[in-house]
Amino acid sequence: MSLPSSSTGTSSSTSMSSAVSLSSSSSSGVSTSSSLLHGLGNVNGTNNESIQLLVDNVNFVVNPDIFSSKKDTMLYRMFFSSPSIAKPNEKGQYIIEGFSATVFSAILDYFKNGIVKCPPNVSVAELHEACDYFLIPFDSSTVKCHNLRGLLHEISNDGAKQQFEDFLDDQILPQMVKAAKRGDRECHIVILLDDDVVDWDEEYPPQTGEEYSQIIHSTPLYRFFKYIENRDVSKQVLKDRGLKKIRLGIEGFPTHKEKIRRRVGYRRPEVIYNYIQRPFIRMSWEKEEAKSRHVDFQCVRSKSITNLSLDGVESNLDSETVARVDLGSTNVTPNVVDNVTEDNDRNNGGTSGCAGDNINPDSNND
């Protein structure tokens, strides 16, 4: 029974009197049962029929009316939806997979007093996953943990996801749309503070590609990306939204020119810029990467050269001995060679020219 998870609302707790019991089979096959520490049972007194929930080989005997007080939860939907989405096995048991009996026992606590207490041997992340599945709100008013660091970390992850989705819609997506309207299929965005000033020299701009970066002035977004956990959450959100080749981090960004250094023997002076460390985010929405990287030209032998190489000696071709020919041209018939290796060239006594390459630059496909 796999259903989408969400976290919504809380309900006031209802007084419950009847007991829920659990039973587990011992190695000898004898069924033993014990009463849970909390009382759960019939709310309205109209139904005394119990059901069996099999979780991690432990059988929980529960009155389904206990779930009626929390109508936003998964357990309520399982037994009170029409038609019921829960189907018993041949023994009349409803099997719930993916969770330990200890975690499920803590989940049942929620239907007594509205509180989920994290067991000592259960991680907060595991309890969070269970709360998401059973549609129980995961917050400080619902979940009680001795491990405050783990609790706050999980709450921060939920908050970071919602916060980044707001940043994405309000600030990041407009920059991506600008890049898309230029025909680009990727975007590199640098996050600056509100008071950061970028003053580049028009005659001597930075030469390392920063001129293609898009800039967002946002101190709140800068503070958000300062934490590596937030960057991890953001990366997952972008993956879920269909983007790829996602990179997030902190890099140096030039703000203004500090000085110009003129070196003897060089026509162009060396320009020194001041760099500051700022977060960046890079993503791509390119679909057919392999096709777009194909080079539509080939290298062919120049007709002015009779022999490009001798036996056992490789040729050194300069730019004047190789002609670049467009494959769409009808004036020249190139000498097409596919999958020619260096050894084949030597065995044939000459070099035939290089076929069109498939350029695959190194990239990290995140």
* DSSP string of 250-319, one letter each residue: EEEEEEEEEEEE--TT-SSPEEEEEEEEEEEEEEE--S-HHHHTB--EEEEE-TT-S-S-BTTB-----T
Order of all β-strands in the sheet with 51-55: 31-39, 19-25, 58-62, 51-55, 93-96
pLDDT of residue 17: 35
Separation CA 65–CA 88 (nearest Å): 17
User: pLDDT value at position 360?
Assistant: 43
Q: Closest by alpha carbon to 258, among 185, 204, 315, 196?
A: 204
Q: What are phi and psi of 210, to 5 degrees?
A: -65, -20
| Chain position carrying tokens 């976290």 | 7
From 337, 302, 297, select the one nearest 319 (Cα to Cα): 302
- Report in angstroms the alpha-carbon separations of 123 from 11, 120, 141, 150, 325: 25, 8, 18, 8, 64
pLDDT tens for the chain, 366 residues long, are: 433 333 333 333 333 333 344 444 433 333 333 333 333 433 333 345 788 999 999 999 988 888 988 889 999 988 887 666 778 888 889 999 999 999 999 999 999 889 999 999 999 999 999 999 999 999 999 999 999 999 999 999 999 999 999 999 999 999 999 999 999 999 999 999 999 998 888 888 887 666 678 999 999 999 999 999 999 999 999 999 999 999 999 999 998 888 888 777 777 777 888 899 999 999 999 987 666 555 555 555 555 555 544 444 444 444 444 444 444 444 444 444 444 444 444 444 444 444 444 434 444 444
Q: Which structural domains are found in the chain, ordered by start?
A: 19-146 (3.30.710.10), 159-287 (no CATH), 291-366 (no CATH)
Alpha-carbon span 310 to 90, nearest angstrom: 82
**Within 13 Å and on the Cβ side, how many CA atoms surround 123?**
6
Q: What is the pLDDT of residue 208?
A: 65
360: how many CB neighbours lie within 10 A of its CB?
9
Closest CA to 67 of 110, 28, 24: 110
Q: How many helices (H) and strands (E) does the chain have?
A: 9, 13
What's residue 304's pLDDT?
55
Residue 229 and residue 156 in contact, taking contact as beta carbons nearer than 8 Å: yes
1 in Cβ contact with 78 (< 8 Å): yes
Cα distance between residue 343 and residue 352, in whole Å: 12
Residue 200 burial by Cβ neighbours in a 10 Å radius (0-12, 13-18, 19+): middle
- Which residues neighbour 174 within 8 Å (Cβ) at sequence distance 6 or greater? none
Q: Which residues pair with 199 in a beta bridge?
A: 256
